[in-house]
Structure 1
Amino acid sequence: MSNQINRDNNHMKLKQLLIIIALLPLQVIAFAGLTPEQSTKFKEDLTYYLDTIKHNYAYFEQKETDWQQVSSFAWLHFNKVKNRTDFLTLIERLQIELYDNHMQLLNSFPFSPKVLPSSADIYAEYKDGKALVVNLMADSAAHKALEIGDEILKINDQPVFKALSRYVGNSFAEVNDDIYSWALNVVLAGDRGKERFLTIKRNQKTINIPLAETQFLSFSTPITSKRIDDFVYIRFNNSLGNNDILQLFPQVIEEAQDTNGLIIDLRTTPGGGNSLIARAILGHFIEQDHFYQMHESPYDQKNFGVKRSWVEIASPLKPYYSKPVMVLVNQWTGSMGEGIALGFDTMQNATVIGTKMAQLLGSMQDYRMPNTNIGFKVSTEKMFHVNGIPRENYRPKVLVTISTKNVDEVLEKALELLSQ
């Protein structure tokens, strides 16, 4: 009888234990390790990711990155992967090795790095051991609180170099100021869902500044247009992938026919767009087919020794606008916005004015890992001005150094040139 009672008690304890295990969070159970099947699937996906970038990324020769060393690092740390969260965290860590804002993952966590320049309200540069504010996004939290030329001493109570080191990779032949500047801007964009806290030096004074979390640009309309004296000002509101432009832009150009000049503002286009919208814009300023940007795919050269390149053409559209055009750009002119600026630069009646642009590298292609379905973008094509200058190296014909946030110096320069 007592044996039966003991068996019943043991059975009851086993049932209770199974219930407790069933109620445990999945991430707790995952610490027990991957099953052989899970491990195989993650290994296949890591191999796919590493090989895809190795064979298709177009900009290795411009980077300090040793991708073989990155691969060794990846497999060394793969042993720490216990679940999907760990795996995606590892992939995010590998992305840092390319220090390329165009190389984005299509999956993310609440703690993932923000997308730049879309989520940035500060553009800073690291030079000679100092982190300096170079430009500020208009109407942002940073624009209200910071000044051009502020030296950033701390970010979230960490000395600036320690803070940015979190985003400096391990595979670099040499760590230069471009890498430090990239890491600095990632840190300044802040963590998702969190405020930022900066310590700066301004006029020999140390100031502590709390900043709200950065936000994606949001607008109620794709285009903003208004009259300024005898000119029309047109701003694209991060809308270069919005097909509404196909109807709206011709209407604005028609209404501008009686003006003496046009200002096209591309300074709020960090999200890029597509070549359909680019051609739909550029077509109103040409009277015959016009080369506006050049592509190069290194894949054929790398794998077969045969170069492949081509030039993209914009074709005329009505209504045609013949008066002078000023095109405004800055560090938030991204991707297709940069391509449109290069297209205008090829036209005799257009002048590009502003700072250097976002310098986003190339044209992107999307890939997905076969098992986890984690997506990632790869810069597979190089982009050039039709004169052969790489898009990321292009500088405006009228280069403006921002000295104050209190005056729109780029717009003022455009109005000055139109009035001459």
Structure 2
Amino acid sequence: MTQRCRPSAASPPPTTLPRRRRGNALIPVILVLFMAAFWPSHAADKENLASFDKVWSTIKEKHWNLEKTGVDWIKIGETYRPKAKKTSTRGEMRKVIRAMISELGQSHFNVYGGDGFATLETALGDFTRGGNGTLGFEVALVDDRLLVTRVHKNVLDAESGIQIGTEILAHSGKKLKPVIDDMTELYGDMAQGRLYMNRTLNSLFEDSPGMDKELTTVTNGKEQTRTFKMHPPLGRPKTILNLPTVHYEYQSEVMSDNIGYLTFNIFIPDVKTQFDNETLPSFKETDGMIIDLRGNGGGIGFIAVALSNRILSQQSKLGTMSNQGGTLNFAVFPQKPIYDKPIAILIDGGSASTSEIMAAGLQDLKRAKVFGTRSAGAALPSIIETLPNGDRFQYAIADYTSVGGRHVEGNGVEPDEVTPHTATSLKAGKDAALEAARQWIKSGGQL
């Protein structure tokens, strides 16, 4: 059994981000990105050059297969270091390092300016205090507006004034647009930026249970400011191996149109147990199944295999992961009973790691149709380190290839049918991806 793709304990700490509410489930990504208190506006020449050397040596030492890239990394260093020595600012050095990295031809390596992180950290300080409590809803940036995309009805009732499509304008008397603009600027060109945006937006509404949050919202054209109470985290606390405790959520139901709906927020052994013992028996006579992996940040890789064993009728594999230690196949061996009805998978920018492995593999094998928006592109152990000059260097230490030969890291999984939330659909209380998946299954579910 393999743990969710992550750096080893001996590796430098990964850059982390505030957890998405469902990603309470995420094995902590709580932001080394925002650890430094300040960065100088101009780094000294020696710090710039040390940053160049750090990037070059890290790739040389930690890339899983430089030879396979076809690039002579020693020669690349000899070519770019003289250019690096001529730079005098971080911006100039950043351009040289990015040009050097581009020689690899791989999307999951990049360097980012440290100033943007400092700006965002300061802005977030007005809103976030940490904690694992929930207000009972999830948000996303839709048509440049911060809208509620999911409401947990066991937490919020109709009297709360919060519903799908509610726009949130302000938090604790402060407008949210400036901090959202900072996020958009910082994450816009960043590998896995969709994932970071998703988590950071939802972190704005995290705090300790029992605390009050004052929000200004607009629902059905009516603006109001109200105080909401933070509730305990959703799901059951679970401790897996030596990882921090997470709160596990699992929902399985047969909808009114005889389509099974399954969603969970982390891939752990409990998912396999509940899928076999609860979901498969109750879905036996359904016309199809929707597996909603939106906001699911991953977990144990081989749980995706364990689920696929029940929905693939022939021996295959979801993909292959390679690092300096060798290769690992996510091999599938069918186990009866097999669910043989149409399967739709929903993904978004918060779907990462094992979610992407499962979605890409079943998509390549023509066993599922994928709906939603492009996934996070975070299938690998991706690390972000602070360089001597304050900039940030992101790199991967393994390679994942789907069974169809696609590199998911940095690219994400592209849905077969792109169905993003829109302000119009949310205002009507509709989930665009879910509705499209239901229509596809009802029409026969042909691939």
Give the structure-1-normalised TM-score. 0.55
Secondary structure of 1:210's aligned partner: strand
Cα deviation for residue 295 of structure 1 reads 3.7
Cα deviation for residue 222 of structure 1 reads 6.8
Deviations 1:211-240 (A, max 9, x none): 443754305997544444684625243352
Q: Is the 8 A contact 2:198 2:349 kept in 1?
A: no
- 1:346 counterpart residue number: 364
Deviations 1:145-188 (A, max 9, x none): 445555543222122244457879999999xx969956860553
Q: 1:179 to 1:218 in 2, by over 3 A?
A: closer
Q: 1:131 to 1:114 in 2, by over 3 A?
A: farther
- 1:283 counterpart residue number: 309
- May I ask how many residue pairs the two structures share in their alignment? 317
Cα deviation for residue 277 of structure 1 reads 0.9
Deviations 1:25-83 (A, max 9, x none): xxxxxxxxxxxxxxxxxxxxxx9xx99x965699987689746x64xx8xxxxxxxxxx
2:149 is aligned with 1:135: yes
- 1:363 counterpart residue number: 380
Secondary structure of 2:378's aligned partner: coil
2:287 is aligned with 1:261: yes
Q: 1:275 to 1:152 in 2, by over 3 A?
A: same
Identity %, equivalent residues: 15
Q: 1:173 to 1:333 in 2, by over 3 A?
A: closer
C-alpha separation in 1, matches of 2:283 and 2:231: 39
2:441 is aligned with 1:418: yes
Match of 1:213 among 230, 240, 247: 230
Cα deviation for residue 323 of structure 1 reads 2.4
C-alpha separation in 2, matches of 1:119 and 1:388: 38
Cα deviation for residue 258 of structure 1 reads 5.2
- 1:399 counterpart residue number: 418
Q: 1:337 to 1:54 in 2, by over 3 A?
A: same
Q: Is the 8 A contact 1:240 1:274 kept in 2?
A: yes
Cα deviation for residue 209 of structure 1 reads 3.9
Secondary structure of 1:273's aligned partner: coil
Cα deviation for residue 120 of structure 1 reads 8.8
Match of 1:124 among 119, 122, 140: 140
2:364 is aligned with 1:315: no
C-alpha separation in 1, matches of 2:378 and 2:231: 23
Secondary structure of 1:261's aligned partner: coil
Q: Is the 8 A contact 1:189 1:214 kept in 2?
A: no
- 2:264 counterpart residue number: 237
Secondary structure of 2:234's aligned partner: coil
C-alpha separation in 2, matches of 1:257 and 1:149: 30
Segments of 4+ in structure 1 off by > 6 A?
Answer: 57-61, 92-97, 165-174, 177-180
- 1:33 counterpart residue number: none
- Which amino acid in structure 2 is aligned with residue 419 of structure 1? K
C-alpha separation in 1, matches of 2:347 and 2:163: 20
Q: What root-mean-square deviation, in Å, do the aligned CA atoms of Structure 1 and Structure 2 show?
A: 5.3
Cα deviation for residue 93 of structure 1 reads 6.8
Secondary structure of 1:285's aligned partner: coil
Deviations 1:356-381 (A, max 9, x none): 266262333899xxxxxxxxx99644
Q: Is the 8 A contact 2:295 2:348 kept in 1?
A: no
Which residues in structure 2 correspond to 1:164-203 (within 5 Å)?
164=180, 181=197, 185=201, 188-192=204-208, 194-201=211-218
- Which amino acid in structure 2 is aligned with residue 287 of structure 1? S
C-alpha separation in 2, matches of 1:253 and 1:180: 31
Secondary structure of 2:309's aligned partner: helix
Structure with greater Cα Rg: 1
Secondary structure of 1:125's aligned partner: strand
Give the structure-2-normalised TM-score. 0.52
Secondary structure of 2:288's aligned partner: strand
Match of 1:154 among 170, 185, 202: 170
| Higher helix content, 1 or 2 | 1
Q: Is the 8 A contact 2:262 2:291 kept in 1?
A: yes
Q: 1:280 to 1:156 in 2, by over 3 A?
A: same
Secondary structure of 1:393's aligned partner: coil
C-alpha separation in 2, matches of 1:136 and 1:255: 27
C-alpha separation in 1, matches of 2:196 and 2:282: 44
Q: Is the 8 A contact 2:216 2:226 kept in 1?
A: yes
C-alpha separation in 1, matches of 2:257 and 2:171: 45
Secondary structure of 1:284's aligned partner: coil
Q: 1:210 to 1:309 in 2, by over 3 A?
A: farther
Deviations 1:325-355 (A, max 9, x none): 22334555443223222222123342223x2
- 2:275 counterpart residue number: 249
- 1:86 counterpart residue number: none
Q: Is the 8 A contact 1:295 1:381 kept in 2?
A: yes
Q: Is the 8 A contact 1:236 1:269 kept in 2?
A: no
The gaps in structure 1 that reach 5 residues or longer are 1-46, 74-91, 100-110, 301-307, 368-376
